[in-house]
Amino acid sequence: MGRRVDTGRVHVLGVRHHGPGSARAVRAALEGLRPDAVLIEGPPEADALTRLVPELKPPVALLAYTPGDTARAAFWPFAEFSPEWVALDYAARAGADVRFCDLPAALSLAEAAPGPGTAPEEGGPGGAPAGGDGPGVAERSRVDPLGVLAEAAGYDDPERWWDDVIEQRPGPGADDGVPSPFPAIAEAMTAVRAELAPEPADPREARREAHMRRVLRSALRAGYQRIAVVCGAWHVPALLEHPRVADDDALLRGRPKVKVAATWIPWTHGRLAAGAGYLAGVRSPGWYHHLFTVADRPVERWLTEAARLLREKGQPVSSAHVIEAVRLTGALAALRGRPLAGLAELAEATSAVLCEGSVERADLVHGEMALGERMGAVPDSTPMVPLQRDLAACQRRLRLTPGPAPRDLDLDLREESARTRSALLHRLRLIGVAWGEPRRDPTRSQGTFRETWTLAWAPELDLALIEAGRWGTTVAGAAAARARDIAARAPLPELTGLTEACLKAGLDDAVDDVLARLADRAAEDDDIEHLMDAVPPLARSARYGDVRRTGSAALRRVAGQLMARVCAGLGPALSGLGDDAATRMVTAIDEVHGAAVLLGGACQDDWLDALASVAVREDVPGRVCGRAHRILYESGRIGGATTAVRLGLATSRATPPERAAAWIEGFLSGGGLLLIHDEALLALVDAWLADLAPQAFVDVLPLLRRTFGAFAAPERRAIGERARHLGTGASATAKATASTAVDSGRAAPAVATAALVLGAAPAAPMDPSRRAAERVKAAPRGRRPSGFPAKGTE
């Protein structure tokens, strides 16, 4: 049989883990009780960390993890409006002894599946959407205890019921004479647990409550006269009624344990939101923070802030709008029987009054305010691994302050400070700490001297830093060690990408090791696709070496060796490819051509020679041949006349329509500007299409639709406009040729001037009357050539 705890010495305060009403009630209760010991739901391994509470800035979280195996880790978050944080803050100010009383992380992490999380059943401040540990309990007992109480009160939404009864209670100063909610909460939870008693008990919940009682008994034996226990509301009855000590000991005896380390880390409101997957999360951390921190008139102040934000975004909002919005929220709350307007009423008033019915305008600010994103901070004296301390020092030195909201960072790599910042972000990515995400902005310069990043710090990155601590004590050292470890087993294409990453990260020593490994792998690898994939990153690395003022001779040497092997093996690799393989090869050829242009010199010449040799082969897929001709044409290796002849041959009647369509697809892929500016080529394509047999046209139409559908809409319109004025067959070619004929009469003055400049003998002057006649003949109908008087003024 159990016995009831001495309620004269023990006061159990059942709370919701993140709720402003619960937090205010806990603060009022503690100031009235003045306890000499405070027990708080949380991992006992963090007892020594409570000394840091005065220096912490919430939201923060306790992190418990297994050293050397950070896959086993858990977070216990605290916001300014968390009752547990209020209790910690009170104990620090009042000098009361404070302890955490939940199941030790050494036990909960040993039982939990590997993977970091904020799981309430592991002892964190988790719980139901509406109080206590409820939702975790709801999943286990198949009944939501808060749902039962809400239904009994006539509510269909447990969240709204808990808000009305607890969270939106009057704040300090207006709470005089209002009874404490904790006796009622204890009575209600006792009744609900009695109703759920036939349900099978969760062994983990039983162990948690057994350990809570063990810590409470220890505090009683230590002689504390006023003990306050702050825990989830669901646990209150279990702490008031104590079973035998032997029964609790039996529940805890022989359980597996793991070694655990604990520390404080910054947290964010975004991670406190229920939408982030946190079982104990709340719908609107920003609203709860506002309710807890605003002394009076929370509705009026909220709407005033919404109006200010709308005005900052260029929306016309006056004080009259705010007054009417306040009236509307009050009317809605009265109609719905709520003691205070909630977030739903504020959202409706913002949309209907401040934004004059525009939901889109309301969404500009309401979502931002409801989340109220903010990030906490921890002092330098917080236990950290050396890698965390080095990163913090780098952030201070480079003035890169971590924050939860994504923000853009533009870096000009010609500046020393920008290169140092870029190197830090690339080093962090190498060790798996993705603080920054590089992105390409099409509106900005595409040169290699500019980088654009999107920075956003997530609390989980602290755990990633702890895990990366095994690679070194500094960011640079850890990144270099990680790069060497990857290089030891990476395939050839990944090695070249790693070389590029090391160069961007400024890891010169690691680059030499990776290049040596790359040369060995390249000598062994005879897969042409692997070699082609390996060249572009090396070429980019050589260019980055120039921009970042690091040596690139070794990079260019290795890239040249790879290019030579690609050029030698390109022909055999292209023979007899299927359609899918040909598509992949076209992409690889484009990438290698870009690399050859970057490398320049002999590499580029050898590459164009290799393309020229395969472009005319019959055993090479049409798509590849067409692409090779496009590159050769744009590089100036073959002229327009040669290109036109080869296009005519490729689209002649002797060529199967499918191969001709694939040839044209390869030639035109990447943009339609060539057809817009070269009417002769357009005429050839038009003539080929016009001469196709009906069934052949049907067969090649899907390929053509895919080719032309990839062009931009303005390009397609321009091609259509030019095609409307083309003929078909041989006449189209003649017309295109005639359109490019030179008018020798109009060109004669320019030729004579050029001859004088060059010192050549001038051509015989043309008779003025003849020249005039030629100009009149060449002028469009209805227009007079320049220099001639208008009709009737001769």
Cβ atoms 284, 370 nearer than 8 A: yes
User: Does residue 794 have a pLDDT over 80?
Assistant: no
> Mean pLDDT throughout 587-591?
88
Q: Do 49 and 152 belong to one domain?
A: yes
Q: Do 74 and 167 belong to one domain?
A: yes
Bridge partners of 262, per DSSP, are: 64
How confident is the model at residue 750, as a pLDDT? 79
Indicate the Cα dihedral angle 251, 254, 258, 261, nearest 10°.
50
Q: Which of 346, 371, 396 is the last residue of a domain?
A: 371
How confident is the model at residue 131, as a pLDDT? 34
Report d(CA 609, CA 416) in Å as an integer: 40
In a domain, 110, yes or no: yes
In a domain, 784, yes or no: no
How confident is the model at residue 29, as a pLDDT? 93
pLDDT digits (tens, 9 = 90+) for 448-471: 578 899 999 988 899 899 989 889
Report d(CA 492, CA 531) in Å as an integer: 7
Q: Which residue has the higher pLDDT, 385 or 703?
A: 385
Q: Do 268 and 154 belong to one domain?
A: yes
pLDDT band at 173, cuts 50/70/90?
Answer: very low
> Mean pLDDT throughout 116-144?
40
Left if phi > 0, otherwise alpha if psi is -120 to 50, otherwise beta: which for 263? beta
Burial 192-222 (b: 16+ CB within 10 A, else e): bbeebeeeeeeebbebbbbbbbebbeebbee
Report d(CA 96, CA 757) in Å as an integer: 99
User: Does residue 772 have a pLDDT over 80?
Assistant: no
Q: Do 70 and 96 belong to one domain?
A: yes
Looking at this protein, which amino acid is placed at residue 271? R
Percentage of the chain lying above the pLDDT 70 cut: 83
How confident is the model at residue 738, as a pLDDT? 42
User: Does residue 26 have a pLDDT over 90?
Assistant: yes
Q: Which two tokens stand for residue 640?
A: 């327009």
User: Does residue 141 have a pLDDT over 70?
Assistant: no
Report d(CA 101, CA 209) in Å as an integer: 9
Backbone angles phi, psi at 640, to 5 degrees: -65, -40
Q: Which two tokens stand for residue 89?
A: 């803050």
In a domain, 636, yes or no: no
> Mean pLDDT throughout 634-659?
80
> Mean pLDDT throughout 754-783?
53
Bridge partners of 11, per DSSP, are: 228
DSSP string, 332-390: HHHHTT-SS--HHHHHHHIIIIITTT-HHHHHHHHHHHHH---B-B--TTS---HHHHH
Number of structural domains in the chain? 4
Q: Domain range spanning residue 450?
A: 386-475
pTM of the model: 0.69
Report d(CA 684, CA 643) in Å as an integer: 11
Q: Which of 158-167, 486-495, 502-511, 669-678 has the lowest mean pLDDT?
A: 669-678
User: Does residue 789 have a pLDDT over 60?
Assistant: no
How confident is the model at residue 666, as a pLDDT? 84
Q: Which two tokens stand for residue 174?
A: 């207006």
Q: Which residue has the higher pLDDT, 297 or 282?
A: 297
Indicate the Cα dihedral angle 622, 628, 632, 634, nearest 10°.
90
> Mean pLDDT throughout 291-305?
90
Contacts of range 392-397, beta carbons closer than 8 Å, 24 or more positions apart = 394/424, 394/475
In a domain, 94, yes or no: yes
pLDDT digits (tens, 9 = 90+) for 307-325: 999 998 888 899 999 999 9
- Residue 412 CB neighbours (<10 A): 13
Half-sphere exposure of 13 (CA within 13 A, CB side): 30
- Residue 472 CB neighbours (<10 A): 18
Mean predicted lDDT score pLDDT of the chain: 80
Calculate the alpha carbon distances from 627 to 226, 589, 623, 631, 685 in Å. 84, 8, 6, 6, 16
Q: Which two tokens stand for residue 375?
A: 């990030």
User: Does residue 345 have a pLDDT over 50?
Assistant: yes
DSSP string, 525-590: ---HHHHHHHHHHHHHHHHHHHHTT---HHHHHHHHHHHHHHHHHHHHHHTT--HHHHHHHHHHHH
User: Does residue 25 have a pLDDT over 60?
Assistant: yes
Q: Which residue has the tokens 């083309």?
A: 726
pLDDT band at 116, cuts 50/70/90?
Answer: low
Report d(CA 228, CA 239) in Å as an integer: 12
Left if phi > 0, otherwise alpha if psi is -120 to 50, otherwise beta: which for 669? beta
Q: Do 433 and 321 belong to one domain?
A: no
How confident is the model at residue 159, as a pLDDT? 78
> Mean pLDDT throughout 182-190?
88
Strands 97-100 and 37-40: parallel
Q: Which of 17-26, 143-152, 179-188, 342-351 has the lowest mean pLDDT?
A: 143-152
Report d(CA 492, CA 195) in Å as an integer: 65
Query: Length of the chain, please?
Result: 794
> Mean pLDDT throughout 244-264?
90
pLDDT band at 392, cuts 50/70/90?
Answer: very high
Report d(CA 13, CA 11) in Å as an integer: 6
User: Does residue 190 have a pLDDT over 70?
Assistant: yes
Q: Which residue has the higher pLDDT, 274 or 26?
A: 26
Q: Do 426 and 359 belong to one domain?
A: no
Cβ atoms 19, 3 nearer than 8 A: no
Q: Do 188 and 51 belong to one domain?
A: yes
Q: Do 340 and 467 belong to one domain?
A: no
pLDDT band at 441, cuts 50/70/90?
Answer: low
Report d(CA 61, CA 58) in Å as an integer: 8
Report d(CA 559, CA 556) in Å as an integer: 5
DSSP string, 456-479: ---THHHHHHHHHGGG-SSHHHHH
The beta strand positions in 186-309, using DSSP E, are 227-232, 241-242, 261-266
Q: Do 169 and 197 belong to one domain?
A: yes
In a domain, 582, yes or no: no
Percentage of the chain lying above the pLDDT 90 cut: 30
- DSSP classification of residue 706: H
How confident is the model at residue 19, as a pLDDT? 85
> Mean pLDDT throughout 205-232?
93
CA end-to-end distance (rounded Å), the chain: 128
Residues ≥6 apart with Cβ < 8 Å to 723:
682, 686
pLDDT band at 1, cuts 50/70/90?
Answer: very low
Helix (H) or strand (E) holding 506: none
Q: Which of 276, 309, 326 is the last residue of a domain?
A: 276
Q: Which two tokens stand for residue 371?
A: 């989340």
Report d(CA 506, CA 398) in Å as an integer: 16
In a domain, 567, yes or no: no
User: Does residue 730 have a pLDDT over 50?
Assistant: no
Report d(CA 281, CA 342) in Å as an integer: 18
> 636, exposed or middle or buried, with CB in 10 Å at 0-12, 13-18, 19+?
exposed
Q: Do 73 and 219 belong to one domain?
A: yes
Cβ atoms 671, 711 nearer than 8 A: yes
Q: Which of 313, 348, 371 is the last residue of a domain?
A: 371
Q: Which residue has the higher pLDDT, 783 or 101?
A: 101
Strands 407-412 and 450-455: antiparallel
Secondary structure of residue 318 in the 3-state scheme: coil
Q: Which residue has the tokens 């003998």?
A: 761
Q: Which residue has the tokens 């997530």?
A: 458
Q: Which two tokens stand for residue 735?
A: 């017309």
Calculate the alpha carbon distances from 52 to 56, 252, 264, 737 in Å. 6, 30, 9, 84
Which candidate, 89, 131, 487, 471, places its Cα nearest to that of 282? Answer: 131
Report d(CA 595, CA 548) in Å as an integer: 18
Q: Do 40 and 106 belong to one domain?
A: yes
DSSP string, 90-124: HHHHHT-EEEE-S--HHHHHHHSPSS-B--GGGTS
In a domain, 593, yes or no: no
Looking at this protein, which amino acid is placed at residue 476? A
In a domain, 381, yes or no: no
Residues ≥6 apart with Cβ < 8 Å to 463:
63, 65, 70, 73, 116, 265
pLDDT digits (tens, 9 = 90+) for 364-384: 788 788 888 889 999 989 999
How confident is the model at residue 405, as a pLDDT? 86
pLDDT digits (tens, 9 = 90+) for 556-577: 777 787 888 888 888 888 887 8
Burial 46-71 (b: 16+ CB within 10 A, else e): bbebbebbeebebbbbbbbbbeeebe
- Residue 519 CB neighbours (<10 A): 16
Q: Do 301 and 235 belong to one domain?
A: no
